[in-house]
Structure 1
Amino acid sequence: MKLEYALEMLKNEGYKYTIKREEMLRFFVGNNRYIRAKDVLDGMKMKYPNLSFDTIYRNLSLFADLEILEETELEGEKHFRIKCATDDHHHHFICMECGMTAQINACPMERVQHQLGNVAITGHKFEVYGKCQKCQL
């Protein structure tokens, strides 16, 4: 997702523009990986020394609710990334070392639906975890 589109989504939903929100989103746009709220805070603390973890976390949750960010839980902690630019159904490989993600264009749900039989599936989440090529070195 492009930064301009994310900011427009905020505006369309009635949320005001702030430079901190823009910089927070810019941080995600520049990284193709899942990031913890603490990492965002650390990245912005130099410029905004009074910025609190609660403010970061509230904004990240808002961005996730508006589907600007995607979220997942890794090792008991929420991680966020900018929403993929494509609306095509896909899943992700996530490097557990650096948080890098790669799109997976396959989905196991047809097989799962067949195996489960007559159930009504309302949603699913499929992620593959490991180490990317750089982190294996």
Structure 2
Amino acid sequence: MKEQQLVEQLRRNGYKITPQRQEILKAFMESSSRLPQSAEDIHNRVVEKYPNVSLDTIYRNLNVLEGLEIISRLSLKDGKSRYELNPGGSHQHHLICLGCGAAEAIDYCPLQALHEIGIAEEKKFEIREHSFEIFGYCSLCRERSDEIGKLPGKCS
């Protein structure tokens, strides 16, 4: 999704396009990292250009973007939320590295099978949302651990 499309989506939903909000969008669009970004990461980027922007402003904007499904929030084991662009406005699941924190999106919903086999109907349960993340070690961390001899949290 292009930055201009995101700006139009905000406008259609009645939000003003402030320079700070545009800078937040740019932070997502121009991220070269595989890692989803924390509010602090975004804040550090935005204050380079707009020094008076508070972390509260960043959080408010992240909540707006998440509510419009422009970004997705990942809650990781360190207790911090991380955010990433949400292409197509659909939910995503991730493989998350316990070593470096890299998050790789899964292109399909592994929990779709719950719907297909009718568990919710059988239990008379209406599913509204779900989350599903898989934690392990990426190939780079596994290579490094081979050099070092052990992955953190791995049995000896």
| TM-score bracket, shorter-length normalisation | 0.7 to 0.9
| Greater Rg over alpha carbons, structure | 2
**Equivalence for 1:20:** 20
**Equivalence for 2:154:** none
Alignment counterpart, residue 79 of structure 1, candidates 77, 82, 90: 82
Aligned-residue CA RMSD (Å): 2.6
Distance 2:30 2:103 in 1: 12
Contact 1:98–1:135 (Cα < 8 Å) also in 2: no
Contact 1:71–1:81 (Cα < 8 Å) also in 2: yes
**Equivalence for 1:43:** 45
How far is the alpha carbon of 1:109 from its aligned partner? 4.4
Q: Please tell me the residue identity of whatever aligns with 2:131.
A: K
Distance 2:101 2:61 in 1: 23
Distance 1:117-1:66 versus aligned 2 partners, 3 A rule: closer
**5+ residue gaps, structure 1:** none
Moved more, 109-118 or 21-30: 109-118
Distance 1:99-1:60 versus aligned 2 partners, 3 A rule: farther
Distance 1:2-1:85 versus aligned 2 partners, 3 A rule: farther
Contact 1:64–1:70 (Cα < 8 Å) also in 2: yes
Larger RCO, structure (CA 8 Å, separation 6 or more): 1
TM-score by length of 1: 0.81
Distance 1:86-1:38 versus aligned 2 partners, 3 A rule: closer
Distance 1:69-1:111 versus aligned 2 partners, 3 A rule: closer
Contact 2:69–2:89 (Cα < 8 Å) also in 1: no
Q: Size of the alignment, in residue pairs?
A: 136
Distance 1:57 1:41 in 2: 9
Distance 1:19-1:62 versus aligned 2 partners, 3 A rule: same
- Secondary structure at the residue paired with 1:46? helix
Alignment counterpart, residue 118 of structure 1, candidates 90, 99, 122: 122
Contact 2:39–2:59 (Cα < 8 Å) also in 1: yes
Distance 1:84-1:33 versus aligned 2 partners, 3 A rule: farther
